[in-house]
């Protein structure tokens, strides 16, 4: 399925947010450039002469901005997994440069991140749905059809478009709109610039 998938789940550790269809650099862009970070784990290929690199092979990177610059300078790196702590604010883990999992200490930060990672035209609808149904996966496809799934396995199995649905046929077939990220500098303007790519 060509769609974005969202999850909002309050836990004892904080508010968890999951976004499938979001590259690592996009996940980093929701934080402030000067936020202090600690890379807790990493797995990558294509970095320098290493066949397989971990966080031990990476240089010491102390801020979100420094990590972004590092990844942009080494655009041949293929990130398999990355886990970082954003000191005092939460964590970000990514998988296969196409899934971002955030844990935020404060609800206001979680809501701010949600608004940045959802398409501008659908922000209110997506945020309202994931908050109303915490722990439920909410998908949005290129035709702006929204569906909910009880589990990630249900989402993967629903390539026929089944599952609970909210607001189907919101857009005429002749006017499909690509999701647009709400990052402050608006670097990623449409679905074509989204994941499933190297960074």
Q: Rounded to 5 degrees, what are φ and ψ at 181?
A: -75, 150
Residue 84: strand pairing partners: 39, 92
Domain ranges of the chain: 3-193
Chain segment 1-28, per-residue pLDDT in tens: 346 899 999 999 999 999 998 999 999 9
List alpha helices for 38-142, DSSP H: 64-73, 107-117, 123-132
Strand ranges for the chain from DSSP E: 3-11, 14-20, 37-45, 53-54, 78-86, 90-95, 99-104, 137-141, 146-149, 164-166
CB 139 within 8 A of CB 179: no
Both tokens of residue 39? 């890379």
Q: Model confidence at 171, in pLDDT bands (50, 70, 90)? A: very low
List alpha helices for 4-151, DSSP H: 24-28, 64-73, 107-117, 123-132
pTM for the whole thing?
A: 0.75
Chain segment 96-150, per-residue pLDDT in tens: 989 999 999 999 999 999 999 988 889 999 999 999 999 999 998 888 889 999 9
The whole-angstrom separation of Cα 93 and Cα 119 is 21
Q: How far is Cα of residue 138 from the mean position of the Cα atoms in its chain?
A: 13
Average pLDDT, the chain: 80
């Amino acid at each position: 399925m060509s769609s974005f998938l969202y999850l909002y789940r309050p836990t004892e550790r904080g508010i968890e947010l999951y976004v499938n269809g979001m590259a690592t650099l996009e996940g980093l862009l929701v934080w402030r450039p000067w936020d202090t970070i600690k890379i807790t784990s990493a797995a990558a290929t294509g970095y320098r002469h290493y066949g397989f690199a971990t966080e031990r092979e990476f240089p010491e990177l102390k801020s979100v901005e420094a990590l972004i610059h590092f990844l942009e300078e080494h655009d041949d790196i293929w990130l398999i997994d990355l886990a970082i702590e954003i000191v005092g604010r939460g964590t970000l883990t990514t998988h296969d440069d196409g899934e971002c999992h955030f844990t935020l200490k404060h609800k206001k930060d979680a809501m701010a991140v949600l608004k940045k990672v959802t398409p501008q035209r659908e922000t209110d609808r997506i945020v309202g749905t994931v908050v109303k149904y915490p722990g439920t996966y909410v998908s949005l496809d290129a035709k702006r059809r929204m569906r909910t799934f009880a589990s990630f396995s249900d989402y993967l199995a629903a390539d026929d478009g089944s599952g609970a649905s909210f607001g189907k046929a919101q857009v005429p077939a002749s006017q499909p709109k690509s999701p647009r990220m709400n990052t402050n500098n608006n670097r990623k303007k449409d679905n074509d610039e989204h994941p499933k790519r190297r960074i």
